[in-house]
């Protein structure tokens, strides 16, 4: 936390770190870009953080959300003063936010105006297999696909959507294709809190603003294949270091989506305690106090942030160092903290105190006594159970209605965030340590040489379901397998 002058000093110290780091490719040090800095003594009145537009509901029918989404090339300003040739959903990066309520029937008319095949994967949502946007259902260039599904009761949460075509997910996400999908509950006990959506991503840019990809056969390309494509250019809702205005005593609800291809965020607001109230698929039963929260790529968290600063003061949402890497490819500046956005205190009077519910919602436990199978899934570098992905192979079979325990073991020295399509699960234990509280999840980070057990029930929807590492480079290289539910 510091004065506006302190922030300028900070920016320049980050810039010198970036310039000092051995850059293997000509990429733009993000901190060299102009960041809006307020005049000393002024008190902010509005967020510079912009929320993506919300998709317009075309339906007048009750409990129905009908929207149009087009993926197309776009020329967009991501960095101040520069234009970037990108891919975008409805011309926006991040894509527009899809908002719906539990029980709604959702109809998405999708058109692919990209020069390549794509899909739209509704990450974390329980829906029919052919609506999942998996690599089994590609949409060719110029093609259309109607994604139609009903959102189950009890699954309000912060979801997101992104491309999932065979072997091209990392490229298309880097080009700008990702967006949030918020499902609301009629009985949400904190619905009246001011809410912010934070979609975190990182990208590499050349000095002219174009998106940089490593040349194949370059050293950087092999580092990217190992680490996943990662950059120090951190963006919140596609913006460089935006700000959120808060006042002393105010409680804000933040929905955070890690849309990065590989980066794991370790979020902290130094000097402040965060209330962790939800994860991938909705709220916990009770809030948990945290000084920092690790958010692996494709994970989501819901936080309550309470303003505790004086008017005119600042705090910073910071990404603390997190060592997910193999020693051979660990970036030399991996242990640098980086600022994602500023929290700025204005001088409006304190709001009335907020009373938080003691229970946010009931999370019913899946019963381990009902599990009929315990599966072992071994993650090695680039492989699952010793194989790379084969679309014509079924790796596991299960019955609709079955409850199973998965024991996912990471036998190598880097983290792999593990995602199961279509079915939400509950973590039982991590490396033998029981999970302290229940939550619904669809992705769980498996740290190097650790194991995680979770329980899942295939409530319905037979079909072929992917499970994979969510480092997009690994997924594209085939660190993925198929569960067939019959």
Torsions phi, psi for 476 (to 5 deg): -60, -35
Q: Which stretch binds Cu ion (CB under 5 A): 84-92, 140-148, 244-252, 465-473?
A: 465-473
Tell me if 324 contacts Cu ion by CB under 5 A: no
- Minimum distance of Cu ion from residue 176's CB (angstroms): 23
- Minimum distance of Cu ion from residue 416's CB (angstroms): 4
Cα atoms in the 13 Å half-sphere on the side-chain side of 423 = 30
Burial of residue 306 (CB within 10 Å: 0-12, 13-18, 19+) is middle
Residues near 131 by Cβ (< 8 Å), separated by ≥ 6? 122, 147, 148, 149
Nearer to Cu ion, 125 or 469 (CB): 469
Rounded to whole angstroms, how far apart are CA atoms 160 and 299? 10
Q: Which stretch binds Cu ion (CB under 5 A): 94-102, 142-150, 321-329, 467-475?
A: 467-475
Nearer to Cu ion, 274 or 471 (CB): 471
Residues near 331 by Cβ (< 8 Å), separated by ≥ 6? 21, 227, 230, 325
Nearer to Cu ion, 416 or 430 (CB): 416
CA separation, residue 456 to residues 21, 330, 440 (Å): 44, 34, 10
Closest-by-Cβ residue to Cu ion is 469
Nearer to Cu ion, 300 or 474 (CB): 474
Q: Which of 106, 469, 483, 485 binds Cu ion (CB under 5 A)?
A: 469
Q: Per the structure block, which two tokens stand in for 455?
A: 């329980």
Number of residues located near Cu ion, criterion CB under 5 A: 4
Q: Which stretch binds Cu ion (CB under 5 A): 100-108, 111-119, 296-304, 473-481?
A: 473-481
Tell me if 474 contacts Cu ion by CB under 5 A: yes
Q: Are 103 and 150 in contact (CB under 8 A)?
A: yes
Is the C-alpha dihedral spanning 285, 244, 1, 230 positive or negative? Answer: positive
Q: Are 291 and 341 in contact (CB under 8 A)?
A: no
Largest CA distance in the chain: 65
- Minimum distance of Cu ion from residue 265's CB (angstroms): 16
Residues numbered 94-123 forming contacts with Cu ion, rule: CB under 5 A? none
Q: Per the structure block, which two tokens stand in for 30?
A: 């993000």
Q: Which of 471, 472, 480, 483 binds Cu ion (CB under 5 A)?
A: 471
Q: Are 97 and 257 in contact (CB under 8 A)?
A: no
- Minimum distance of Cu ion from residue 470's CB (angstroms): 7
Nearer to Cu ion, 229 or 416 (CB): 416
Q: Per the structure block, which two tokens stand in for 264?
A: 């794991």
Say if strands 64-76 and 105-112 run parallel, antiparallel, or are unpaired. Answer: parallel
Nearer to Cu ion, 451 or 469 (CB): 469
**Residue 146, SS3?**
strand
- Minimum distance of Cu ion from residue 474's CB (angstroms): 3
- Minimum distance of Cu ion from residue 230's CB (angstroms): 13
The interface mask with Cu ion, positions 397-436, x = CB under 5 A, is -------------------x--------------------
Nearer to Cu ion, 412 or 459 (CB): 412
Q: Which residue has the tokens 């680490």?
A: 227
Q: Which stretch binds Cu ion (CB under 5 A): 29-37, 149-157, 286-294, 471-479?
A: 471-479
Tell me if 31 contacts Cu ion by CB under 5 A: no
Q: Got the DSSP string for 305-330?
A: EE--SPTT-EEEEEE-----S-GGG-
Rounded to whole angstroms, how far apart are CA atoms 304 and 414? 31
Q: Are 385 and 395 in contact (CB under 8 A)?
A: yes
Q: Which stretch binds Cu ion (CB under 5 A): 138-146, 268-276, 316-324, 461-469?
A: 461-469
Nearer to Cu ion, 18 or 408 (CB): 408
Nearer to Cu ion, 251 or 471 (CB): 471
Q: Which stretch binds Cu ion (CB under 5 A): 311-319, 362-370, 440-448, 469-477?
A: 469-477
Nearest to 158 by CA among 128, 133, 138, 188: 188
The interface mask with Cu ion, positions 120-159, x = CB under 5 A, is ----------------------------------------
- Minimum distance of Cu ion from residue 122's CB (angstroms): 22
CA separation, residue 155 to residues 36, 137, 296 (Å): 39, 25, 21
Residues that bind Cu ion (CB under 5 A): 416, 469, 471, 474
């Amino acid at each position: 936390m510091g004065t506006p002058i302190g922030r300028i000093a900070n920016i320049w110290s980050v810039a010198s770190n970036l310039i000092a780091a051995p850059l293997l490719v000509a990429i733009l040090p993000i901190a060299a870009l102009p960041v809006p800095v307020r005049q000393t003594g002024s008190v902010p009145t509005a967020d510079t953080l912009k929320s993506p537009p919300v998709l317009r509901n075309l339906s007048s029918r009750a409990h129905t959300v009908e929207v149009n989404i087009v993926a197309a090339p776009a020329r967009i300003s991501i960095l101040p003063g520069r234009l970037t040739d990108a891919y975008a959903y409805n011309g926006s990066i991040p894509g527009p936010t899809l908002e719906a309520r539990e029980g709604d029937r959702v109809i998405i008319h999708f058109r692919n105006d990209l020069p390549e095949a794509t899909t739209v994967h509704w990450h974390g949502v329980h829906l029919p297999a052919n609506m999942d946007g998996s690599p089994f259902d590609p949409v060719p260039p110029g093609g259309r696909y109607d994604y139609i599904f009903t959102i189950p009761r009890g699954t309000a949460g912060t979801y997101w959507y992104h491309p999932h075509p065979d072997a091209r997910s990392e490229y298309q996400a880097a080009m700008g294709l990702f967006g949030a999908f918020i499902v609301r509950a009629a009985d949400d006990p904190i619905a009246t809190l001011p809410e912010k959506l934070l979609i975190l991503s990182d990208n590499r840019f050349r000095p002219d603003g174009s998106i940089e990809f490593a040349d194949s056969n370059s050293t950087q390309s092999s580092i990217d294949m190992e680490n996943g494509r990662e950059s120090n250019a951190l963006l919140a809702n596609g913006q460089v270091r935006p700000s959120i205005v808060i006042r002393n005593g105010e409680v804000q609800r933040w929905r955070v989506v890690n849309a990065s291809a590989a980066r794991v965020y370790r979020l902290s607001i130094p000097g402040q305690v965060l209330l962790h109230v939800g994860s991938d698929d909705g709220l916990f039963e009770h809030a948990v106090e945290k000084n920092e929260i690790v958010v692996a790529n494709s994970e989501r968290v819901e936080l309550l942030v309470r303003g505790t600063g004086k008017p005119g003061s600042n705090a910073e949402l910071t990404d603390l160092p997190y060592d997910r890497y193999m020693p051979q490819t660990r970036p030399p500046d991996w242990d640098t903290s980086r600022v994602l956005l500023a929290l700025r205190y204005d001088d409006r009077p304190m709001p009335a105190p907020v009373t938080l519910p003691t229970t946010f919602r009931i999370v019913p436990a899946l019963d381990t006594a009902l599990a009929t199978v315990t599966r072992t899934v071994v993650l090695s570098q680039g492989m699952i159970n010793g194989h790379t992905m084969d679309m014509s192979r079924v790796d596991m079979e299960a019955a609709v209605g079955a409850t199973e325990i998965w024991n996912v073991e990471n036998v190598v020295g880097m983290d792999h965030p593990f995602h199961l399509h279509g079915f939400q699960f509950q973590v039982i234990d991590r490396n033998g340590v029981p999970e302290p509280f229940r939550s619904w999840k669809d992705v769980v980070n498996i740290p190097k040489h650790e194991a995680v057990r979770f329980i899942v029930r295939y409530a319905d929807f037979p079909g072929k379901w992917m499970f994979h590492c969510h480092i997009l480079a690994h997924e594209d290289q085939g660190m993925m397998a198929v569960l067939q539910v019959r």
